[in-house]
Structure 1
Amino acid sequence: MATLCRPAVAVPEHVITLDQTLDLARTLHAGHPQLPLALRLIENTGVRTRHLVQPIERTLTHPGFTARNEVYEREAKLRVPEVVERALGYAELTARDIDLIVYVSCTGFMMPSMTAWLINRMGFRSDTRQVPIAQLGCAAGGAAVNRAHDFCRAYPGANVLIVACEFCSLCYQPTDLEVGSLLSNGLFGDAVAAVVMRGHGGHGVHVERNGSHVVPDTEGWISYGVRDTGFHFQLDKRVPGTMAMLAPALRGLADQHGWDVSGLGFYIVHAGGPRILDDLCRFLGLEPAAFRHSRATLTERGNIASAVVFDALARLFAEGAVPDGAPGLIAGFGPGITAEISLGSWTTVPSEPARRRPRAISAAEVTLVHPAAPRRFPAGTTITE
């Protein structure tokens, strides 16, 4: 049975607070007829701090899509390797033990994918498989877990590395003045996360079942307008009410597995906003504390897109209070409207012996590891467990 191990998470060194966000909105949009509404919505997000990959002065400028995507590629290559190394360490594996890399991101574009760069720079085997996921937005974290689980079921004993790299601040568009865009300017943050799913052994969540659900005729509710200036985030005002349509999918998958979704031991869900979590509590009959880790991610880091579920899961590991065998749920929500759902049981002692590939590599293979590959974040970067 595949086990999702402890995630590694890091956020950039540049921080913006709620008060700074509100002051910027008042200054930049002083004449906006719906400014009071936008300010109220930003305050109600519950976000108190966010981390940005660039200083706020540079974030607010728009040098063009080409320059922004260059920032995305440069910062991803700078920040991802260290997080990957920590995730491998938590799983007690090396790069050569990995059979598949799933890379998720909706805030920049690279081809070849970041997966190829990692294989060439960090010593992964040349036959490592690659699955880049770019168009599932915030749901991609849950989708990555599900595709990793599918792979481990198809290839028993295989190990999968998942990487989520989201620099949402690079999608800031100064000319987008709809209320939804102004709200997103105060909601999204930047983060990098990595986690390993082990085919055998490991400590964490034994994933037992996964499923997906798309709400019919809602594909326009969360979307990108792709223009000369890059990605323009578009948010329908009906999005906050989507849990009425998605909560039954969570309950239905749990029912198929013989579990009561209202009586699980832990819940890791995408924190798109406080109403999402409040509605889930109401529809699933849960106390607010059930989503404490998702709420903490939202408060301290904002909506960090596909990385949310891994940041919340890392907080669950750090809390250290889940009893062995406790059933739980992981879910990501995003464009489509899509839900990606996993069910699994917590394990503190591996139920199966670890199976690892030989650690020795040849001199020729050593050259695959680029000597200049970065291993450290810039000063001020926050690294979490």
Structure 2
Amino acid sequence: MRIAVGKPVVVRAPYEVSTDAIEADWLARWPLEEQPPQRRRRLATGLRMVRSTGVVSRPWVAPLDVVGDAGRGAREVYAEAFAAVVDMAAAAAGGALEAAGLEPGDVDCVVTTHTTSWTVPGLDVALVNRLGLRRDVSRVPASTLACAGGAHSLVQAVRYLAHRPDGVVLVVAGEALSILHTPWREPTRTSVLYGALFGDSAAATVVVGADPAHQADADRLVAAGGGLVAEVDTWEWQQYGESPYWGELLPPGAPDAGRIVFESNRDAAKAARETVPQLVKWLDGRRVEWAMVHPGGPSIITDTVDALGLPPEAGRHSAASLAGGNLGGAAVLDVLRRTLGNGPVRGPGVLVGYGPGFVAGAVSLDVLDSPA
């Protein structure tokens, strides 16, 4: 089928926190020379891993000293984080609609993804109220997809339009993953890494059908705010029976009860590499001239680009996004924004996201030279 995708609007959280500052905070709390050998190795390894990601700074919803305050309870942390996500998501969604020349009442379906907390009701309901969407708007919410959320949401938008080609779909991703930074807790390799890898942001885009009967809507969307028109196909995949990544809620009675920690095992390092062959198999020989890859880490980007037979520079927009923090579910939409901002995209390519599961989602896009 044929769709039009608007250039995403990305809203970054207001506090840019550098990798240097995070490392200094860890070392001030846990001076290496004062730690027993095992803890010293874990902390040093975690800090080296943070440096190896290429993240220079990341946007957070609160300053480093507030995020790292051990006296804040779980309820306070998550309530404030979710409120910040709603603010950013509403701003991004409003910007995307304005760029597309649309009003909130024009939206037929809203697809949302966020992993900030298990808030009920979720981001979808919050946006209906905040933006003034129609009360009969279709809602497709997701709250556990994390980094796979952006690609998954685009897949769902395409599938909605397959049944409602005259529809307008608003896709919104919002994350406040700074909640994973807990430097007062015993440092582990993964707690140091995941506490520093992620940033807080929201991203939104508008997707509409672009078959001949609805070409005028697609033309207006692209002309108003940039974007692309493409013939598309969608794909989803779960690689493992048990995930190498998992979130864990600390139980009552434990220090920091109610806080979420994010962990992974050694299989996480090879998860994307083992999943990419399934992506290639699904493409089934279709030409790929460019790729928009979720910037989960340098190896995720390079493994995907290499498997698709593309030169290293094909991952440059993903790498540039990662330098500003892994934005979770919003990250691949940021890559889409950067790609479209670099000039027209033409020919066949693929947008792919990965997340805990280990799961993947992709949209193949054969971008037309002209909307006609």
- Normalised TM-score (structure 2): 0.87
2:313 aligned residue:
289
Determine which of 259, 263, 279 is the counterpart of 2:286: 259
Q: After alignment, is 195-204 or 57-66 more displaced?
A: 195-204
**TM-superposed deviation, 1:165:** 0.7
1:17 aligned residue:
18
Determine which of 276, 279, 291 is the counterpart of 1:247: 276
**TM-superposed deviation, 1:15:** 1.1
In structure 2, C-alpha distance between the alignment counterparts of 1:268 and 1:21, rounded to whole Å: 29
1:179 aligned residue:
189
Pairs within 5 Å for 1:76-115: 76-115=85-124
Question: Which amino acid is the alignment partner of residue 15 of structure 2?
Answer: H
In structure 1, C-alpha distance between the alignment counterparts of 2:154 and 2:24, rounded to whole Å: 38
2:299 aligned residue:
275
1:334 aligned residue:
355
**TM-superposed deviation, 1:205:** 4.7
1:60 aligned residue:
68
2:328 aligned residue:
305
Number of positions where the alignment pairs a residue of Structure 1 with one of Structure 2 = 342
Determine which of 50, 74, 78 is the counterpart of 2:83: 74
**TM-superposed deviation, 1:91:** 2.5
In structure 1, C-alpha distance between the alignment counterparts of 2:65 and 2:368, rounded to whole Å: 45
Conserved 8 A contact 2:6-2:206: yes
Task: Give me the CA root mean square deviation.
Answer: 1.7
In structure 1, C-alpha distance between the alignment counterparts of 2:134 and 2:368, rounded to whole Å: 29
Q: Could you list the per-position Cα deviations for residues 125-165 of structure 1 after superposition, in whole angstroms to 9, with x for gaps in the alignment?
A: 11101111011111111110101111000112111111111
Determine which of 35, 57, 78 is the counterpart of 1:49: 57
1:7 aligned residue:
8
SS at match of 2:87: helix
Structure 1 residue runs of 5 or longer lacking an equivalent are 352-385
In structure 2, C-alpha distance between the alignment counterparts of 1:350 and 1:87, rounded to whole Å: 20
Conserved 8 A contact 2:82-2:176: no
Question: Which amino acid is the alignment partner of residue 7 of structure 1?
Answer: P
Q: Could you list the per-position Cα deviations for residues 194-219 of structure 1 after superposition, in whole angstroms to 9, with x for gaps in the alignment?
A: 11111241331525110111112342
Percent same amino acid at aligned positions?
A: 27
The structure-2 alpha-carbon separation of the partners of 1:205 and 1:26, relative to structure 1 and needing over 3 Å to count, comes to: farther
SS at match of 1:317: helix
Question: Which amino acid is the alignment partner of residue 186 of structure 1?
Answer: A
1:361 aligned residue:
none
**TM-superposed deviation, 1:52:** 0.7
The structure-2 alpha-carbon separation of the partners of 1:56 and 1:348, relative to structure 1 and needing over 3 Å to count, comes to: farther
**TM-superposed deviation, 1:79:** 2.4
SS at match of 2:197: coil
Conserved 8 A contact 1:7-1:90: no
Q: Could you list the per-position Cα deviations for residues 310-338 of structure 1 after superposition, in whole angstroms to 9, with x for gaps in the alignment?
A: 00000011101423xx1110111011100
Question: Which amino acid is the alignment partner of residue 144 of structure 2?
Answer: Q
SS at match of 1:186: helix
Alignment of 1:232 with 2:242, yes or no, is no
In structure 1, C-alpha distance between the alignment counterparts of 2:51 and 2:81, rounded to whole Å: 28
Q: Could you list the per-position Cα deviations for residues 93-133 of structure 1 after superposition, in whole angstroms to 9, with x for gaps in the alignment?
A: 22111111111011123322222222223221111011110
SS at match of 1:108: coil
Alignment of 1:189 with 2:189, yes or no, is no
In structure 1, C-alpha distance between the alignment counterparts of 2:104 and 2:370, rounded to whole Å: 23
Q: Could you list the per-position Cα deviations for residues 48-71 of structure 1 after superposition, in whole angstroms to 9, with x for gaps in the alignment?
A: 111110011101014121101210
Q: Could you list the per-position Cα deviations for residues 282-332 of structure 1 after superposition, in whole angstroms to 9, with x for gaps in the alignment?
A: 333322111111100001x21111111000000011101423xx1110111
1:354 aligned residue:
none
